[in-house]
Chain A
Amino acid sequence: MAHFDENAKPFSNRWLDDRLAINTVKKVLSTEYWIPKNINFLWAMGMVLAATFGLLVVSGIFLLMYYKPDINMAFDSVNYTIMTEVGYGWLWRHIHGVAASLVFLIIYIHMLTGIYYSSYKRGREMIWLSGMLLFIAFSAEAFSGYMLPWGQMSYWAGMVITNLFEAGSLELTGLVEWIRGDYVPGDAFLLRFFTLHVLLIPLVIMGLIVFHFATLRIPHVNNQDGEDIDFDEAARLYKEGNKKESKVIPFNPVFLSKDVFVLGIYFILFFYLVFYHFDFAMDPVNFDPADGLKTPPHIYPEWYFLWSYEILRPFPKDPGLIAFGIAQIAFFLLPWIDRSPNVAPAHKRGLFFWWFWILVLDMIALTVLGKLPPEGIYNTLGTISAIIFLLLGPALILITKLEKKL
């Protein structure tokens, strides 16, 4: 048995430290969690994501108090009860909708930052993989949430996406019906996606966020120059008071103060969108109640799924599904497709720099084309962009094999 100080006042610092080692925990997780000094605001995106997820949970709980998961009541419970009768219901709904959209914008920025600075390899593979799992979990969360208002787009996007499980010419209609719980999306469908959205997936996400944070602790975050820092040495310098010479800063309070400032700026943008420009996050088509007899003229997913939708669409059924499948797992493989020994920002990595910007532009092109009707020139451009995306994988292997060690 450890030594306990009998005179410590209950719940005093000493008393708690004897029992919970709070001083050690505080050091490990905050005051002596060393962060490189040489980083920019892009390294605050993780915190921005965590905060946005927090907002999603809180606003979601308020919506849950009035939402009715029943195909005859869902639409009106959202559009009438919450928007009209519940005090500030509209505020929670718009916060939830805008946050669901912005969280993906930030996730993409966060991922592309990781790619630009080579933060996914040489010891950081687990950070990357846990991040990708978060991306998948968030995608599932967003899709299931989109079903809940039971508008036209909920219904038809639900129809189209679940149809993918038919797996092309394998014609697994039984699987599709099993997923839907019916021949077409209906009450069983809505209720199960509701359960996933409000219970299971959020739990998974919370677990994954903890895991993602844990994967960061030992490799530490990367920095703007990809420099391999000796954290013990740098921490020693810092603690001795040589703050200028030291290459690191403690997470709390030094890095945190910057995170909080970035959060402040982000929330100005966030609430500007919530109050004055929420429509980008709430498709007008979904304000028509679901009608299984009336197919909307254009069916498209939310913007953050468009790039992978556009990899599916231009090809014939089976090749399209295979391409789509590749797109879903491609980013998981990144740490192994990249064969270069260098951890450095893209502008120091020769051809990789060009590869990175082609990736960004191609994904934006796919996103825009995914929304446009697949006709004429848009169809051609869509096919080209999708092929470029698929070729970027092999191209990366080649480029990085040729890359010289810095």
Chain B
Amino acid sequence: MRELKILAVVVFFALLTYYGVEPYAHSVMHKDVEGYNFTYDGTADIQEATEALEEAQASGRNVAKAQARLEVKKAFWSEVDKIAKIPGNVANGQAVFGTCLACHNGAGVNMGGVIPPNLDHAGALYDKRYLIAVIKDPAMASNVDHKYENTMMHPMGSVTAMVSDPQQIADVVAYMLAKKAGDVTPKAAYEEACARCHAMRYSKITQLGETPSFTDEKDELAYKIKVLQEQELVEAYMGKLPPDLSMIIRARSTHFLETFVENPQSQLEGTSMPRVGLSQAGYDKVHEYLTEIGDPSKKHREALGPWVIGFFVIFSILAYLWKKHHWRDLH
């Protein structure tokens, strides 16, 4: 039938245009970054360092430094690998965990740039190897070692001096995986993993946590000042104030968010955001929260969509019968 042929032509060119400006253009504009399913064994870091070395060799500058960095990375991640194989003792780990509480105490005091996060669900949020790595050398674990000549300058750097024995590390990690892994709500996951840096104004979360409600305007203003002061410290630490993440779920693709959180350097070279070290399950919780706040209509859309579309299907069938009725004796 002629009308269907014309329709096929129109649809073909519309889809061609769509393919060109959406999937194709985006595949060209955004580089393709490989994900590692939220496991941290140093593959990505070593590859980055290798590429940096190749670049250095090509330009003939800083070759020795790049070479050294690659060796350090390799050594570090193979150490982590070794510790991961040591069976940890939960009871001993609990004692070591006391060291951590010196900083991770929920007092809300800024330490070297950020307020140390609550570790109540660390075992549920973070990957095992990453936890080992972050105790061994936080700057290396987060892949921001280029910012620090000496790890001790990292806000959590002094932990390397306090907990350095591989057995101790294995113990404290075993303890967190066993005892600090209860059910975590999406909101708690966000607060523990991201909120020390990223505010979320659509759910009233700032770097100080959830904003309480005030009856007295003076208290409210005083609190605002505290938030601004905290943000200044974060800004000084990171070089810029990390963006509010209220709408990030719609501003970035799913793939970008996943690979960025897994390894920020892969998407934004030289960025100051440290790797966070979430496991797949931990990231899923954070993602759920970002969706809940940034795209709250998702479930309403899914509930209403079929009804509206069904309505127009019936409408079209009736309209077709009406048309048939009027056109029946025209030809």
Contact = CB atoms under 8 A, between A and B. Distances in A.
A90 B301 contact: yes
Interface string B292-311: 00001100111011001100
Given A37-B330, A80-B246, A249-B330, A264 B319 contact: yes
B60 interface: no
Nearest to A297: B29
Interface stretch (B17-25, B62-70, B147-155, B163-171): B17-25
Interface in A70-84: 76, 79-80, 83-84
B89 to A, nearest CB: 47
Contacts of B253: 284
Contacts of A11: none
B219 to A, nearest CB: 23
A36 to B, nearest CB: 12
Given A244-B329, A257-B323, A261-B320, A84 B296 contact: yes
Interface stretch (A1-9, A268-276, A330-338): A268-276
A257 B309 contact: no
Nearest to B10: A109
Contacts of B201: 76
Contact of B319 (A37, A90, A261, A288): A261
Give the interface size bracket for B toward A: 35 or more
B327 A40 contact: no
Nearest to A224: B2
B20 A364 contact: yes
A276 B251 contact: no
B13 A360 contact: yes
A90 B297 contact: yes
Nearest to B247: A287
B82 interface: no
Contacts of B22: 280
A78 to B, nearest CB: 10
Q: What's the dominant secondary structure at chain A's contact region?
A: helix
Nearest to B319: A261
A212 interface: no
Nearest to B318: A264
A382 B21 CA distance: 14
Contacts of A37: 330
Interface stretch (A172-180, A368-376, A393-401): A368-376
Contact of A284 (B252, B296, B322): B252
B308 A275 contact: yes
B289 to A, nearest CB: 14
B17 A364 contact: yes
6 contacts: A257-B322, A268-B312, A268-B313, A298-B29, A303-B17, A367-B21
Given A84-B296, A303-B21, 15 more contacts: A42-B6, A42-B10, A80-B246, A90-B300, A258-B323, A267-B316, A268-B313, A272-B305, A276-B305, A279-B250, A284-B253, A288-B247, A303-B17, A371-B20, A373-B29
Interface of B: 2-3, 6-7, 10, 13-14, 16-18, 20-22, 24-25, 28-29, 201-202, 243, 246-248, 250-253, 296-297, 300-302, 304-305, 308-309, 312-313, 315-316, 319-320, 322-323, 325-327, 329-331
